[in-house]
Amino acid sequence: MVTARSPRFTESTQGRLRRLNLVTSLPPVVFAAAVLLYIDVRTWWHIVVLAPGAVAAVVAFERWTANDLARVAVPCLVVGAAVWPLGVLVTGSPNAYWGFCAVGSLALREVRRHRGPAVAGLFSYVAVVGAARLLVQRDDVAHVLVTYVLVPTALTVVVTVFTIVGERFYDLIRELEQTREREAELAVVRERVRFASDLHDIQGHTLHVVKLKIALAQRLLLRDTARAEEELRETYALVSDTITQTKELAYAQRRLNLTAEIENAKNLFEAAGIRVRVTREAEVDAHVSELLGQVLRETTTNILRHAQATQVRITLAGSGITIVNDGVTADTPPELRGLSALRQRLADDGGQLIVEQHEGRFRTAATFPPARGAVQPPALKEDGR
């Protein structure tokens, strides 16, 4: 029996995508900052004025990829906003807007309300500050409007649009991941409902029969003692059998159909958004099939509960079954009590259960000696999804 867990996003797809974005996009961003500084700087003190804006843009981008922009958004935005007018009025740098543009477009995500006015304010600030160049350069108005107003504002609009689209992409990834988590939770809940249904089947009918037999024995107690004694013996035997069946259910010792368990595991994984590949190399005898089915069921539950798997491979061979998944979330394997109990059962029956973690993959293998192996010649059947 399994318990539900709250959604986790450690090592999530969104996080991996952000790190990939950092590795692939940060070098071009740094290169662009260096190129723009090289174009605008005409003397050494220009670097002192313009470099903080470029640094603010790079820092904001790095924190954005780490999903931690809120902590540095305001300081970086203030720096970028200060560099742009200095570049316009002091150094004559038409590219000084770049820091404010980059930080502002990324920081829009942190604006929960009134995002429209914030976007308009971003564009207006770039345009108005750029137009302030006319205060110091009035001889070529057209050049000023194009170089300091039109181009910076247009590029700010383009950068903002691409940033918003990129953030929407991350939102979709997060929603898909949450859906996958919910599907995994539903799979666990379905397993609990199946357990409850089996328990009801075992005990519900028995308790009803016991109630009727005890009522009958009470009526016969004074009239037909022998018949009453027989009813009580049958009731005792029925209760004993029910206790045995309940223990078998609690410890997953009821007879399992391995083929049905493989199909059920495949359906559960697919419902959770996990790619699954099943390879059947041979069939096994009935007793081994039951134990292997228990191992597969327990492993399936563990993957849904504890792993962040994207792929699972199930291999059924003449000597046993192997389940491999790529959902390793820690350096050491988690404590899996269900598999620990099954390990002793397999050992008592001459088998072996191996649970190991290696190179980002978690492997569970249940094997038996060749004498308990395949009952048919190996015939490779593969079902990959």
The pLDDT, as a whole number, for residue 154 is: 92
Fold agreement (188-250, 258-384): no
Q: Give 10-residue mean pLDDT values along the chain (385 residues).
A: 38 63 75 81 84 88 81 89 90 88 85 83 91 87 89 90 79 75 76 75 73 81 83 83 76 65 81 83 77 84 80 89 83 64 80 84 85 48 52
- Span between the terminal Cα atoms of the chain, in Å: 27
CATH second-level architecture of 258-384?
2-Layer Sandwich (3.30)
Q: So where are the chain's domains?
A: 13-177, 188-250, 258-384
The pLDDT, as a whole number, for residue 340 is: 75
Radius of gyration in angstroms for the set of CA atoms belonging to the chain, rounded to a whole number: 34
Contact between 65 and 21 under an 8 Å Cβ cutoff? The reply is: yes
Report the topology of domain 188-250: 1.20.5
The pLDDT, as a whole number, for residue 125 is: 92
The pLDDT, as a whole number, for residue 140 is: 84
Residue 8, Ramachandran bin (φ over 0: left; ψ between -120 and 50: alpha; else beta): beta
Specify the pTM. Answer: 0.49
What's the number of CA atoms in the CB half-sphere (13 Å) around residue 363? 13
Q: Per residue in 215-243, is it b (16+ CB within 10 Å) or e — as a string?
A: eebeebeeeeeeebeebbeebeebeeebe
* Biggest CA pair distance of the chain: 124
The pLDDT, as a whole number, for residue 378 is: 44
